[in-house]
Amino acid sequence: MSEPFFFSLTSAPTVGDLAALVNAEFDSQFAARRIEGLAALERAGPRDLAFFDNPRYADALAATRAGACLVRAAAFERAPKGVAALVVDHPYRAFARIAARLVPDSLRAAPIFAEGVSPEAHVHPQARLEPGVNVEPGAVVGAGAEIGSGTLVGANAVIGAGVRIGRDCTIGAGASLTHALLGDRVMLHPGVRVGQDGFGFALGARGHLKAPQIGRVIIQDDVEIGANCTLDRGATRDTIVGEGTKIDNLVQIGHNVVVGRHCIIVAQVGVAGSTELGDFVMVGGQTGIAGHLTIGAGARIAAQSGVMRDVPAGASVGGTPAQDLRLFLKRAAQDRRGRASKEKRT
């Protein structure tokens, strides 16, 4: 169930209200039932809404006590008697839409202290803040920085000189930005580092010469970047993250990298310098992508892969070195059978 101490629903809608919001089909006998919480299948009670979108949780669906549950048409008959099954094409997406309506405060951080610029913050006189900007205690905003209305700068965050941040952004506590331009509705979680110099050195037998990094980081609208990610500024061109891209925690983006629009990058991924990802690329956790590569639009890379060559648009790859995913899975199965056979002989 949702934790009322932190998040409270803005209303207690009926099942009929929820069905109308996501265009769901349902048994009208449940139309007047009130929903007062959101919960996982196994924790949901008679006043909670849950969803079923993964066959691994079929047993949880069969045993749920939820008041209502979002399901696909194929699972309608599997919902327990008395549960209001709301039939939609994409249950998780419908659940997210409903949750955003009922618990809007969960979508972005709220000011910890009073709204406005805290007297304990340090804002340079030459910084330009639109009305409605919140700057929390300990935050620093440098000379010439520009911050749009509705943006929250968390406690102890550092906004470097000349950085531009759009409207309705969230800069998490302890984040730091330098040499960066951010669009609107960008969310940086706590500890994110943006714009530090990239890892560029001219190697030599007598030592390595540091190469100046004179590019920027450009983060377009509606990007979300998880806690403790690092995005290096470009060397001689910009590091770019395209609109709508979502990056999980603990991801490293090297200098000159270009990430396309609406990509998904899961935790602990490292993308080396000057690699380009097309639109709608998905990268599984703990994947390493070498530098100077092109990952085509719509490509999918399995978790823990090592990508050392270009990946064509729409391809699915996995393993180290990364290869066609079907081939990788086939070889992995052969290896397992081979090991099992060897163990039997010994």
Shared domain for 190 and 335, answered yes or no, is yes
In the listed set 83, 107, 131, which residue is the last one of a domain according to the structure?
Answer: 107
Shared domain for 225 and 309, answered yes or no, is yes
Q: Are 49 and 64 in contact (CB under 8 A)?
A: no
Shared domain for 202 and 60, answered yes or no, is no
Q: Are 325 and 304 in contact (CB under 8 A)?
A: no
In a domain, 137, yes or no: no
Shared domain for 103 and 185, answered yes or no, is no
223: Cβ contacts below 8 Å, ≥ 6 apart: 183, 186, 187, 241, 242, 243, 244, 245, 246, 247
How much is the pLDDT for 212? 96
In a domain, 323, yes or no: yes
Q: Can you list the alpha helix ranges (DSSP code H) found in the chain?
A: 15-22, 58-63, 91-102, 325-345
Spatial strand order of the sheet with 37-38 comes to 37-38, 48-51, 68-71, 84-87
In a domain, 279, yes or no: yes
Shared domain for 70 and 190, answered yes or no, is no
Give the CATH number, domain containing residue 96: 3.40.1390.10
Residue 276: helix, strand or coil by DSSP?
strand
In a domain, 288, yes or no: yes
How far apart (Å, rounded) are the C-alpha atoms in residues 78 and 159?
A: 52
Shared domain for 182 and 318, answered yes or no, is yes
Shared domain for 224 and 345, answered yes or no, is yes
C-alpha distances (whole Å) from 197 to each of 168, 185, 193, 241 are 27, 25, 11, 16
In a domain, 2, yes or no: no
Number of domains in the chain: 2
What string of pLDDT tens digits covers the 346 residues of the chain? 555 668 889 999 999 999 999 999 999 999 999 999 999 999 999 999 999 999 999 999 999 999 999 999 999 999 999 999 999 999 999 999 999 999 998 998 888 887 899 999 999 999 999 999 999 999 999 999 999 999 999 999 999 999 999 999 999 999 999 999 999 999 999 999 999 999 999 999 999 999 999 999 999 999 999 999 999 999 999 999 999 999 999 999 999 999 999 999 999 999 999 999 999 999 999 999 999 999 999 999 999 999 999 999 999 999 999 999 999 998 888 878 777 767 777 6
Shared domain for 185 and 303, answered yes or no, is yes
In the listed set 107, 141, 169, which residue is the last one of a domain according to the structure?
Answer: 107
Domain residues for 334? 178-346
Kindly name the residue from 208, 255, 262, 292 that is annotated as catalytic: 255
| Residue given tokens 């639009």 in the structure block | 297
Shared domain for 203 and 315, answered yes or no, is yes
Q: Is 255 a catalytic residue?
A: yes
CB neighbour class for 70 (10 Å; exposed up to 12, middle 13-18, buried from 19): buried
In a domain, 217, yes or no: yes
Residue 197 in tokens: 């110099």
Shared domain for 346 and 251, answered yes or no, is yes
| Residue given tokens 């990509």 in the structure block | 263
In a domain, 61, yes or no: yes
In a domain, 117, yes or no: no
Give the CATH number, domain containing residue 287: 2.160.10.10
How much is the pLDDT for 307? 98
Shared domain for 193 and 325, answered yes or no, is yes
In the listed set 64, 90, 107, which residue is the last one of a domain according to the structure?
Answer: 107
How much is the pLDDT for 339? 75
Shared domain for 225 and 338, answered yes or no, is yes
End-to-end Cα spacing for the chain: 51
| Peptide bond connecting 80 to the previous residue in cis, omega within 30 degrees of 0 | no
